[in-house]
Copies of this chain bind each other. A is one copy, B any other.
Amino acid sequence: MSTKGRGRPRTYDSDAALGAALEVFWERGFAATSLDDISAATGMARPSLYAAFGNKKSIYRKSIDKFNREFLGQLEAVLFAGTGIENDLVNFYLAALPTYRSGDRVARGCPVICTATVEAAVDDTIQGDLAAAFDHIDGALVARFEQAQADGELPGSAVPSRLGMLAAALLHSLAVRMRVRQKGFQAEQFVRASVGEILKT
């Protein structure tokens, strides 16, 4: 690992490689993705992959971590945009949809919720990463409802922790539903209707 100095210069960009690796993990899941798949997607030979990021699980964790930082950061910015609780919340979900719909062949939902969850039952480190990501989302949503209550947008009888967990459930459902691809499911309509129900006093 050297940014400069003696030696043959590396031909890859670490961040781009992790992004390309995520794409294949996202489509096929962790177990069904081979190092050859990652090698083809990144253009890096297997020994280079190993030297740069470690073994397959390590590559997976690093690519998921990168996704979490970028994606959750973007979602949180929308959630705390300050356009009122209803608007912020609707925009929060709508901001996730383009990512959940992405994919060359078909929509793939959320890479974290849809691929890491499987591994969580047999791999404790991935389970830890995943639980931390869930905690992070829960915390952000609860905090947003607390802020709304402080701003007088919610009655004093409202319970932000309950609303936050309910709002998180909406995101989980969207994350898997977009990958399940039921015919006739209207994501935007579902988002607006559900947020309306949640905020109904």
Give the B-binding residues of A (Cβ under 8 A): 26-29, 31-32, 103, 105-109, 113-115, 117-122, 127, 130-131, 134-135, 138, 159, 162-163, 165-166, 168-170, 172-174, 176-177, 179-183, 190, 193-194, 196-198, 200-201
| Complex alpha-carbon distance, A200 and B190, angstroms | 19
6 closest A-B pairs by beta carbon, nearest first, are: A169-B173, A31-B31, A31-B32, A29-B118, A172-B173, A162-B193
Q: Do the beta carbons of B118 and A182 come within 8 Å of each other?
A: no
Q: Do the beta carbons of A197 and B194 come within 8 Å of each other?
A: no
Q: Do the beta carbons of A103 and B121 come within 8 Å of each other?
A: yes
| Complex alpha-carbon distance, A122 and B120, angstroms | 21
| Complex alpha-carbon distance, A198 and B169, angstroms | 12
- A103 to chain B: which residues have CB within 8 Å? 121
| Complex alpha-carbon distance, A135 and B131, angstroms | 28
Distance between A172 CB and nearest chain B CB, rounded to angstroms: 4
Distance between A85 CB and nearest chain B CB, rounded to angstroms: 15
Q: Do the beta carbons of A121 and B179 come within 8 Å of each other?
A: yes
- A108 to chain B: which residues have CB within 8 Å? 121
What are 27 of the A-B contact pairs (CB < 8 Å)? A27-B122, A29-B31, A29-B118, A105-B121, A107-B121, A109-B121, A113-B176, A114-B118, A117-B179, A118-B118, A121-B179, A127-B180, A127-B181, A138-B182, A159-B193, A162-B193, A162-B194, A162-B197, A165-B190, A165-B194, A169-B170, A169-B172, A169-B194, A172-B173, A200-B200, A200-B201, A201-B201
| Complex alpha-carbon distance, A152 and B190, angstroms | 25
Q: Do the beta carbons of B122 and A32 come within 8 Å of each other?
A: yes
Given contacts A127-B181, A165-B194, A201-B200, contact A109 B117 (CB under 8 A): yes
